[in-house]
A and B are shown apart, each in its own frame.
Chain A
Amino acid sequence: MAKKEWPLIAFTLLSQTAVGFFLLFTVPLALSGTGTGAADVRLLRLRSLFIVLILLAAAAALSFFHLGNPLGAYRALNNVRTSRLSREIFFELLLIFLIAVVAWFEWRRSGSQDLRLGFYFLAALAGVGLIWSMAGIYRLEAVPVWNNAMTPFSFFMTAFVLGALGSAAAPAFKLLREGKGGPPFAGRLLLDAAALAFLVLNFVGVVLSDPNFGIRRLGRRGFDSKLSRIFALLYGLRLVFLLTAAAAVVLSILEISPQVPSSPVPHLIIWAFAAALISETLGRILFFALFRKEGL
């Protein structure tokens, strides 16, 4: 893997986490925005929108580092009709714009509930479009190792795993810092359960897809044996960290008590997020490192 791909690893991981966090945390909050405690929920929505914006802006800023001529980056939207890269940038900018509009509405308390929900819906569509077009970039006929269903699957899984765990971990950070304001029992249980489901699905996907795209066939693809051993080690570590994250989520679920909703402090979910982040980073490193064209 070349040095030029590090910004792409950071860009894809950050963007996907932002979309997952928005879909699994912010959008459900928007749908439950009225009734008792609506002011607290609005504040939570604003904070979550701020987190999504920061993640997307950081991703966009880091993506400049992989360009040889970053000053010309504005031209990247010239070919939306046929270039998947142009489409990805279009969806990234559209998502940033829509999130900023929604955040403005929430902050100013302006716009009707329907209008706000309409923008949330459009932003959710743009988020899905972003990940889909991002995966499409790598569906190249010349690169069989990328041109399969595992590419969109793994990109969406990164979004959902890190999004769900990030959603569960973000309120846990607040609870750790302030000693109050942790997520309500039902919400926490739901997020933990969703995170566990995505972790299991991701694990199964990674294991099942390997014969088609990965480590066991490296020798035949012209990688030398030393490199193959390094890749096999990274692949093994990725699975170990995924299992660690899943185990931490299971323990976290067992700790949740309906009698004492915010206690004990959910350290475990933060550890689960860290383990899943390491696993997804290793997976993305492997994804770029396995680049090999058909033939030459």
Chain B
Amino acid sequence: MNAVSRFAFFFDSSSCSGCKACQMACKDKNDLGPGVLWRKVYEIAGGGWRREGEVWIPGVYAYNISLACNHCEDPACRRSCPTKAIVKGPDGIVVLNSRACIGCRYCEWSCPYGAPRYDGEKGVMGKCDFCFDLVEKGEKPACVAACPMRALDFGELEALKEKYGGTDVIFPLPRASQTGPSLLIKPHRSAGLAGKETAGVANDEET
């Protein structure tokens, strides 16, 4: 594979069915224990019913966001890690060295996306490493390969921008200006509505 300056994920929220195959493929590839998710699928739900005369009009909506580490331009986790266990490679991939981690969980607090996750059995943090071993062999990251809807893709950020366009923020993700995520999203049609109304993560406990 040619040298890449910044790898990124693309996610098509309008096509995602919320099957969580990406989540499971990630768990399987990285041998993660119960409750540890490096890729999470958030179910965003909102809206309600309104009455017009004798008729009730449904306005409920739901969509999914599949999210892992976004390998940010300026990773808050790397800045905050007291042991320098988190490093960023020349290809933009942010890697956590679990052997240097002391399990203080400060990266979990500081990451706006909550990407680093604590593994209680090992006493250290872990996070998506872009399946760099597969990528080096010219294969796709496990989550991208597993998606039956082709809602996930990966590649060089600028190339993805050219191919798909998209945005790096969608309700309820935090402001992209915080860390500059390497992420492009094609928003679901209801995402704009969700930002203006009372909507929220419906599977908060799961994620």
The chain A residue with its CB closest to the CB of B42 is A296
Which of B29-37, B56-64, B142-150, B167-175 participates in binding chain A? B167-175
Question: A92 to chain B: closest CB distance in Å?
Answer: 12
Please, how many angstroms separate the alpha-carbon atoms of A84 and B42 in the complex? 30
**Residues of B contacting A89 in the complex (Cβ-Cβ under 8 angstroms):** 82
Cβ of A76 within 8 Å of any chain B Cβ, yes or no, is yes
The answer to whether A79 touches B102 (Cβ under 8 A) is: no
The answer to whether A67 touches B172 (Cβ under 8 A) is: no
Question: A84 to chain B: closest CB distance in Å?
Answer: 7
Given contacts A143-B109, A294-B112, contact A76 B82 (CB under 8 A): yes
Which of B80, B112, B119, B123 sits near A295, CB closer than 8 Å?
B112
The chain B residue with its CB closest to the CB of A138 is B109
Cβ of B200 within 8 Å of any chain A Cβ, yes or no, is yes
Which of A73, A78, A85, A293 sits near B80, CB closer than 8 Å?
A85
The answer to whether B76 touches A85 (Cβ under 8 A) is: no
The answer to whether B83 touches A78 (Cβ under 8 A) is: yes
Size bracket of the A interface: 20 to 34
Interface residues of B in 42-71 (CB under 8 A from A): 42, 67
Interface residues of B in 91-124 (CB under 8 A from A): 100-106, 109-114, 118-120, 122-124
**Residues of A contacting B204 in the complex (Cβ-Cβ under 8 angstroms):** 222
Question: B186 to chain A: closest CB distance in Å?
Answer: 19
Beyond contacts A75-B100, A83-B80: 9 other A-B pairs, Cβ-Cβ < 8 A, are: A68-B119, A75-B83, A79-B81, A79-B83, A140-B80, A140-B110, A294-B174, A295-B174, A296-B201
A-B contact pairs, 20 of them (CB 8 A): A68-B101, A68-B124, A69-B101, A69-B102, A75-B83, A75-B102, A76-B83, A76-B102, A79-B82, A83-B79, A86-B82, A89-B82, A142-B111, A142-B178, A143-B109, A293-B112, A293-B114, A294-B112, A295-B112, A295-B171
